[in-house]
Amino acid sequence: MSSSSPRYTVVAILLHWMIAFAILANLGLGWWMHGAIEHSATRSTAVAVFQIHKSIGLTVLLLSVIRLGWRLGHPPPALPGGMSGLERFGARTTHGLFYGLMIAIPLSGWVYVSTQWRGDTPLQVPTLWFGLFEVPHLFGLDQASNALREQWAGWSFDTHWALAWSMAGLLALHVAAALKHQFVNRDGVLARMIPALARNPERSPQRTFAFRIGGAAIAATVLAIIALLWQPVPIPRGERSTAAPPATPASTSGDSPTAEATTDAWVLDRAASAIEFSGSQGGSVFEGRFERWTVDISLDPENIEEARIEAQIETASATDGNTLHDRTLAESEWFDPDTYPYARYRSTEIEPLAEGGYRIAGVLTIKNNDIPVPSLRLTLNGDTATIRGQTVVDRAAADLGMSSDPEGEWVSRQIEVHVNAVLSRP
């Protein structure tokens, strides 16, 4: 397209306002988040907002590239004839700087999160685009040496912060210039981006319809951003589903789940059973569960001291209902299911209790680390056996999250594990 139009195209207008609203939202989020993440009372909210901030930033990057490509093929309207040479230079320079910043700011942020480093500590926090899919890290920075990651993190964060402030200043200048053109010069410059301000708009029905669609799209974008910011962002408690996970076939191979029923025919009632965990993250309580686990018992009520109880828990099935947390739990620093697909429990001692029932002592093995579980309780009622109890697992003993959070600054060191297994014999 070789000649310019008297006003911007509908596509250019839509891209302009979607990018503008997204940038304004992200500047506000970034400013708030920078301080909130340092305080325990707001840390969990800041972590959730950080994911929204990253998602909006990547969206701005994509839309900016599209808008730049569109502009190369569709020249903007000519500047008003009454503008001085200095004003023309300033207008062109400002637009050039906008395009540079709209691309450089999210790119520098993407580099920063790719280093997986904060302060002097490595991280393992995936970037999830509005919770829909995981965004890859750039240049393999997350796999680089700690020294290189720290260096790139410092450089990219400082750059990102400086560019964001530059964008804020440029936005203020841009808005002031637009208002001057509208109310002082009265030359219709602003109407080229907001056609409704034109005094005598000459529009065909098709153009009018297009602008209405454009206005609706802008309104939808604003509402979507408001909805994202309005939604409860503290870490949600895991939803407790009562649906039974898919049955796992019986197997005796080394790393495969054991059978739910043995020769004693004890069968796990999944709907009534659960292995759950709880703790705190950034001052907010989280509750989760393991969705897939199996039990193998050899239990004769007439010879209870010889009973054997074993369980295998699929580490990849850990969930608290938060997509970010679930992805993080699967990282190598945490459960690392690719290397350690199962956590295992085995009883070591069963003894009767004076008040009835039996005390079970056992060992829980996570990532080849043995953790004593001193007291679960077994009760028998006819052909029903119930195993209940709780224990506290120190993340250090299980080697969970000890690279990025050894002191429990983000996630509590002590994690409570609650067991409720109901089994029956037909």
SS3 337: coil
pLDDT at 3 over 50: no
Q: Does 245 have pLDDT greater than 80?
A: no
The strand pairing partners of 345, in sequence order, are 311, 364
> What would the two tokens of residue 336 be?
């690392």
Element (H, E) at 418: strand 414-424
Domain ranges of the chain: 10-230, 267-424
Contact 383, 359 (CB under 8 A): no
Q: Which tokens go with 270?
A: 């999944």
Residue 238: CB atoms within 10 A of its CB come to: 20
Phi-psi region of 283 (alpha: psi -120 to 50; beta: other; left: phi over 0): left
Question: Tokens for 53?
Answer: 């901030």
pLDDT, average across residues 294-322? 90
Lowest mean pLDDT among 12-21, 91-100, 241-250, 367-376: 241-250
- Rg for the chain (alpha carbons), in Å? 30
The whole-angstrom separation of Cα 153 and Cα 162 is 14
Measure Cα distances from 392 to 38, 144, 176, 316, 396 in Å. 27, 35, 59, 20, 12
Phi and psi torsions of 181, nearest 5°: -65, -35
> Which pLDDT belongs to residue 257?
40
Q: What is the pLDDT of residue 144?
A: 93
In terms of pLDDT, which residue wins out, 293 or 181? 293
- 179/194 Cα distance (integer angstroms): 12
Q: Are the C-beta atoms of 150 and 122 separated by less than 8 Å?
A: no
CA nearest to 388, candidates 353, 351, 421: 421
- The tens digit of pLDDT for each residue in 48-95 reads 899 999 999 999 999 999 999 998 888 888 777 777 888 888 888 988
Whole-angstrom CA distances from 291 to 112, 178, 340 are 34, 56, 16
CA angle 142, 143, 146 (to 5 degrees): 80
Buried-state track 115-147, b at ≥16 Cβ within 10 A, e below 16: bbbbeebbbbbbbbeeeeeeeebbeebbebeee
> Measured between alpha carbons, how far is 352 from 379 in angstroms, rounded to an integer?
10
Q: Facing residues of 310 across strands? A: 296, 346
Alpha-carbon gap, residue 344 to 139, rounded angstroms? 37
Question: pLDDT at residue 253 above 70?
Answer: no
Indicate the CATH number of 267-424 among 1.10.3720.10, 2.40.128.110, 3.40.50.11540, 3.30.420.40. Answer: 2.40.128.110
Contact (CB, 8 A) for 291 and 317:
yes
Give the pLDDT mean for 329-337. Answer: 93
Which runs of E-coded beta strand occur in 125-244? 127-129, 133-135
pLDDT classification of 244: cutoffs 50, 70, 90:
very low
Judge whether residue 233 has pLDDT over 80: no
